[in-house]
């Protein structure tokens, strides 16, 4: 039996369309069509992924006979699932949002405790030991959430560089509505923290300020990432930015490749600019903190605003170019 016959039969046992198989493998539907028409042959990494999907060996898939395998109802994709999330994209994005938001909250919680313990003496422990220890404990705890989350996200994007948009209009509307509420609540906590400065100037007020910022940041970061997951096209652009031009063309098709590559290049430039901005903001913030400046955290706030501006510039330039 040929690879084509095996692939067609295995796909049929799972009630799987070419589009759904393409999404699982990380290629375009056209690529699957070429495989089944014997006009092209998948690369080794794609073959290995196919063996994982259909639970078979490489020899069985390429040169064996799998056409006798019976249908697998338990593993079949429902006929009504034309827009099903078969890659686990939604679950991954929600988990990613929770982990990143938790990491950010832990870092800010470290600042909260550092403010609370500022100037407090506990026996032989140096005065600065508790604030510094709390700050670094929060940073370490935050990083322990953020770095693994980013690594898992990178791995997911490599495994699924292209996802068909399966969200319905109702789901998109619901996500925007939820984000609107979260945005309001998150900003409310941030403003409450700023307003707490009017209550006085002591370590308890400073701790209250950072506590409000911590809660607000958690809500805003989590809500922003969860709302952003609905923009599947932006995810695809970001995921494809890690691939070569040939790989991008094989996934989205040669017709769309030029446009997609242009967007991925802009995405890389924005990412690089934001990385530089936040590194500089971190250096400035740490220097201000070392010299005892109470508003050292403003360095990261300004850095975040500049990153937002950097992200808007490519879109603005593109819009102006279209107008002209």
Per residue in 62-77, pLDDT (tens digit) is 888 888 888 777 666 6
Residue 209 has pLDDT above 80, yes or no: yes
Mean residue pLDDT of the chain comes to 80
Mean pLDDT of 145-152: 92
pLDDT at 82: 47
Mean pLDDT of 284-304: 73
Task: Identify which has the larger pLDDT, 186 or 206.
Answer: 186
**Counting Cβ atoms within 10 Å, is residue 111 exposed (0-12), middle (13-18) or buried (19+)?**
buried
Q: For residue 323, name the pLDDT band (cuts at 50, 70, 90).
A: very low
C-alpha to C-alpha distance for 155 and 299, rounded to whole angstroms: 31
Whether 149 contacts 143, CB under 8 Å: no
Residue 99 has pLDDT above 80, yes or no: yes
Whether 153 contacts 166, CB under 8 Å: no
pLDDT at 42: 85
List the one residue out of 24, 23, 53, 47 whose CA is nearest residue 35: 47
């Amino acid at each position: 039996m040929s690879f084509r016959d095996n692939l067609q039969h295995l796909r049929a046992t799972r009630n799987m369309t070419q589009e759904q198989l393409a999404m699982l493998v990380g290629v375009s539907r056209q690529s699957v069509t070429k495989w089944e028409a014997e006009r092209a042959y998948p690369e080794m990494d794609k073959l290995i992924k196919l063996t994982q999907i259909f639970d078979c060996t490489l020899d069985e898939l390429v040169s064996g006979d799998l056409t006798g395998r019976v249908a697998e109802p338990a593993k079949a994709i429902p006929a009504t699932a034309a827009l099903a999330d078969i890659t686990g994209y939604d679950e991954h994005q929600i988990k990613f949002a929770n982990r990143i938001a938790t990491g950010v909250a832990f870092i800010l919680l470290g600042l909260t405790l550092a403010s609370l313990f500022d100037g407090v003496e506990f026996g032989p422990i140096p005065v600065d030991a508790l604030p510094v220890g709390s700050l670094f404990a929060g940073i370490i705890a935050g990083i322990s959430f953020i770095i693994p989350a980013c690594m898992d996200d990178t791995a997911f994007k490599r495994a699924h560089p292209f996802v068909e948009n399966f969200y319905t209009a109702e789901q998109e509307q619901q996500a925007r509505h939820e984000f609107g509420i979260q945005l309001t609540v998150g900003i409310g906590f941030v403003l409450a923290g700023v307003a707490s400065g009017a209550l006085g100037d002591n370590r308890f007020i400073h701790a209250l300020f950072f506590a409000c910022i911590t809660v607000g940041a958690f809500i805003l970061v989590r809500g922003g990432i969860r709302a952003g997951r609905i923009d599947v096209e932006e995810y695809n652009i970001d995921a494809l930015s890690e691939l070569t031009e040939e790989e991008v063309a094989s996934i989205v098709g040669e017709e769309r490749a030029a446009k997609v590559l242009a967007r991925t290049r802009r995405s890389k430039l924005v990412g690089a600019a934001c990385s530089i901005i936040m590194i500089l903001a971190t250096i400035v913030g740490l220097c201000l903190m070392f010299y005892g400046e109470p508003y050292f955290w403003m360095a990261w706030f300004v850095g975040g605003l500049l990153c937002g501006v950097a992200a808007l510039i490519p879109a603005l330039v593109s819009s102006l170019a279209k107008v002209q």
